[in-house]
Amino acid sequence: MLKDIFMSLSQNQFLNSAAKKYGLKMGAQSVVAGTNIEEVIKSIKELNSHGISCTVDNLGEFVFNEEEANAAKEQILNVIEAIHEHKVDAHISLKPTQLGLDIEYSFCLNNLREIVDLANRYGIFVNIDMEDYSHLSPTFDLLDDLSLEYDNVGTVIQSYFHQAQEYIERYKNYRIRIVKGAYKESPEIAYQDKNDIDANFIKISEWHLLNGKFTSIATHDHRIINYLKDFVKKNNIPNDKYEFQMLYGFRKELQLKLASEGYNFCTYVPFGNDWYGYFMRRLAERPQNLNLVAKQVFNKKTNTIIGVAAGAFLLGKMTNKQTKKKRK
């Protein structure tokens, strides 16, 4: 039920517009590392000072306008220049739909090629984020095409997909981030039960740790983290073959603890005004995340907005059930 609520909220255009309007006034500064490049570089430097590297996401997705896609490309190029100029420990994460995948494949590929080329010149890695299932195959195609020219690209494997093991084996020679998955997918293609998703996360993580190039273990679940810490120790997997990842603003104490223990740690650092859908999907992915950031994120205004929307969603569910009963 909670997952459905947050997925519904993530697609609410009114709330998305309100989030853009109020921005950091709504408490987004706890989960978003700034609205501009200057602010995100400052956040990266702070994390670097604790021995934490960063992957930077210029927030935005599902773009259907070439002008908007080109603007996103230019912003990402500027981020790469800033990373190089300030000599910070950071790389890039990006979403193909923000760069025009829904407009035209070749248009998106050209935008990506320009980004990857500049990053390659500076020795900066580019991670191609995975989105929903409808974009899975073309995103793999983008990775395949770019890999013909560059070796500084990798992608994400989502453990809720039934075929995750097949994907992880196909791309074993790439730097891969393993996540659970944050989009609403059908039972035909994705696990629906948390225990199944967690079990598959561990399974593909173990496989890639033993056979892959480099593994980014992206989870806030301390039970999975502790299990995989024991796994790498028992299997003598060197530190330079993996890292743990978490989102900016989530489980800060655990992030610092892992870094202080000598593990490679990377924080996923989003920035920009288009943060709302991103944040709602994080809550849908793992509703417990709400508890992790509630005190530091939600002021009264945010609680009101989310509460009203959640109430409307639940009311709609109840009304639909009542209507179906009457029809019966």
Confidence of residue 296 (pLDDT cuts 50, 70, 90): very low
pLDDT of residue 209: 98
User: With contact defined as beta carbons under 8 Å apart, do 100 and 111 qualify?
Assistant: yes
- Tell me whether residue 129 is one of the annotated catalytic residues: yes
Model confidence at 60, in pLDDT bands (50, 70, 90)?
A: confident
Q: pLDDT tier at 220 (50, 70, 90 boundaries)?
A: very high
What are 171's two structure tokens?
A: 């791309």
- pLDDT tier, 57 (very low <50, low <70, confident <90, very high otherwise): very high
User: What residues contact residue 88 under an 8 Å CB cut-off, 6+ apart?
Assistant: 41, 44, 45, 48, 54
Domains of the chain: 1-26+275-328 (no CATH), 32-274 (3.20.20.220)
Residue 323 has pLDDT above 60, yes or no: no
Q: Pick the catalytic residue: 57, 102, 129, 274?
A: 129
The pLDDT assigned to 12 comes to 59
Please, what is the average pLDDT of the chain? 85
In the structure, what pLDDT confidence band is assigned to residue 250 with cuts at 50, 70 and 90?
confident
pLDDT at 2: 56
pTM: 0.83
Q: What is the DSSP letter of 190?
A: B
Q: Which of 57, 102, 175, 177 is catalytic?
A: 177
Of residues 35 and 46, more confidence is placed in: 46
**Mean pLDDT across the stretch 103-125?**
98
How confident is the model over 90-102, as pLDDT tens digits? 999 999 999 999 9
188 Cβ contact list (under 8 Å, min separation 6): none
Active site residue 151: no
Residues whose CB falls within 8 Å of the CB of residue 168, separated by 6 or more in sequence, listed in order = 157, 176, 178, 204, 207, 208, 212
Percent of the chain residues topping a pLDDT of 90 = 69
List, in sequence order, the alpha helices (H) in 87-193.
105-121, 136-147, 164-170
